[in-house]
């Protein structure tokens, strides 16, 4: 049986310290999914576990936001036997580039590695719906809210936890002048 928490520990992906998250929040816990996804055999195990949660759903294309969702979307597309593409920010707006497109009525699965506020995945959901896609759901490796996200569509996760987060003004680590790391792909 797959144990995502064990995989995160063994690969060093579950990190402790002081982190500025992509969402702009601060936390003492960070999950660097890239340290897991660098191992194709582990990415495949995670994708197979997600495919089990999605059993019976028709998916035409998996879409992941760059950067964190790119590898995850590809692995899910391979496992589900469908296309896999990604979105990128252009002037701070999530867009389809590189000739990628969604056909009207295509069943879309949004793939994101880690979600704290759901912001990036929600942007992709809106983009896909705006392009005529029918969003079947959001597939997360890690849900940092332990089930409290709302994308307006079903979502699935392999690992849930609820680490402490703070705004910069309320961060006790900042108040102790502890320097932070900014490991996410988007700089705030």
pLDDT one-digit tens code per residue, 57-94: 999 999 999 888 999 999 999 999 999 999 999 988 99
Q: How far apart are CA 47 and CA 44, in angstroms?
A: 5
Q: Is the dihedral of CA 39, 107, 132, 103 positive or negative?
A: positive
Torsion, Cα 21 141 14 69, to 10 degrees, reads -50
Q: 139-184: per-residue pLDDT in tens?
A: 999 998 888 899 999 999 999 988 888 999 999 999 999 999 888 6
| CATH architecture of residue range(s) 4-175 | 3-Layer(aba) Sandwich (3.40)
Per-residue pLDDT tens for 122-136?
999 999 999 999 999
| Backbone angle region of 41, left / alpha / beta, with phi > 0 → left and psi within -120 to 50 → alpha | alpha
């Amino acid at each position: 049986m797959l144990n995502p928490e064990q995989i995160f520990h063994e690969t060093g992906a579950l990190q402790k310290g002081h982190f500025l998250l992509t969402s702009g929040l601060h936390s003492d816990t960070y999950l660097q999914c890239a340290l897991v996804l660098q191992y194709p055999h582990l990415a495949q195990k995670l994708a197979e576990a997600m495919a089990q949660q999605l059993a019976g759903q028709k998916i035409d294309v998996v879409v992941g936001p760059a950067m964190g969702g790119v590898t995850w979307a590809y692995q899910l597309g391979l496992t589900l036997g469908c296309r896999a593409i990604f979105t990128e920010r252009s002037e701070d707006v999530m867009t389809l580039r590189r000739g990628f497109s969604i056909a009207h009525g295509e069943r879309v699965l949004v793939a994101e590695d880690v979600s704290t506020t759901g912001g990036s995945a929600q942007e992709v959901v809106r983009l896909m719906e705006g392009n005529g896609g029918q969003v079947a759901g959001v597939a997360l490796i890690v849900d940092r809210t332990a089930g409290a996200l709302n994308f307006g569509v079903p979502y699935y996760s392999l690992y849930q936890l609820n680490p402490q987060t703070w705004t910069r003004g309320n961060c006790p680590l900042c108040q102790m002048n502890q320097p932070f790391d900014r490991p996410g792909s988007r700089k705030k």
